[in-house]
């Protein structure tokens, strides 16, 4: 089975409590979500993540999406967490592949509350050679200088992440 993972990556350690699956790796907090590729519908029309969140709130009741680590997640779960923790610097990355062939890829970066448009990929058609270089540069500028997607023991899929998190918590 191929890799299929969506992750909110925060460039600081953040205590999210024991109920939220998350990992601290090299001064980053990684929060995996149980979902297919997020599409960030219409995000290219917004400059500030707070404006995009207000847009999402106008279309959906955020409070009807309590975090539940045992069920599927959606984009609202991610942006509700961003809102609730007042995050202004983060990356959301999704990668899925089957038999070493890419299937879906999405990427977005927010710095100081601003949506960075250059590396934005919200559908597979936008993932071109130029965007690949923009994504590499965005990760480098964010300080993410290691390939978290290669950490299969933590980030192969959400069920793998959940199991690894449960084992880590049991040792504490």
Q: Are 171 and 40 in contact (CB under 8 A)?
A: no
Nearest to 108 by CA among 27, 58, 37, 4: 37
Name which residue leads in pLDDT, 125 or 19: 19
Per DSSP, what are the bridge partners of residue 4?
Answer: 96, 157
| pLDDT band, residue 64 (cuts 50/70/90) | confident
Asked if residue 172 has pLDDT above 90, the reply is no
Percent of the chain with pLDDT over 70: 94
**Domain map of the chain by residue range?**
4-170
The DSSP output letter for 62 is G
Nearest to 67 by CA among 49, 52, 85, 81: 81
Query: Which three-class secondary structure state does DSSP give residue 123?
Result: coil
Between helix 49-59 and helix 75-84 the angle, nearest 10°, is 120
């Amino acid at each position: 089975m191929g890799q299929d993972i969506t992750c909110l990556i925060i460039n600081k350690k953040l205590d999210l409590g024991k109920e939220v699956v998350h990992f601290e790796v090299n001064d980053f907090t990684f929060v995996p979500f149980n979902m297919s590729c997020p599409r960030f519908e219409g995000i290219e029309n917004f400059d500030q993540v707070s404006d995009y969140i207000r847009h999402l709130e106008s279309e959906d009741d955020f409070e009807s999406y309590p975090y539940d680590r045992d069920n599927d997640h959606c984009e609202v779960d991610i942006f509700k967490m961003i809102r609730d923790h007042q995050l202004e610097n983060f990356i959301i990355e999704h990668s899925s592949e089957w038999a070493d062939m890419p299937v879906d890829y999405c990427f977005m970066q927010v710095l100081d509350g601003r949506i960075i448009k250059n590396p934005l990929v919200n559908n597979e058609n936008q993932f071109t050679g130029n965007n690949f270089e923009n994504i590499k540069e965005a990760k480098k500028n964010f300080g993410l200088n290691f390939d978290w997607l290669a950490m299969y023991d933590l980030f192969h899929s959400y069920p793998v992440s959940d199991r690894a998190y449960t084992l880590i918590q049991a040792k504490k």
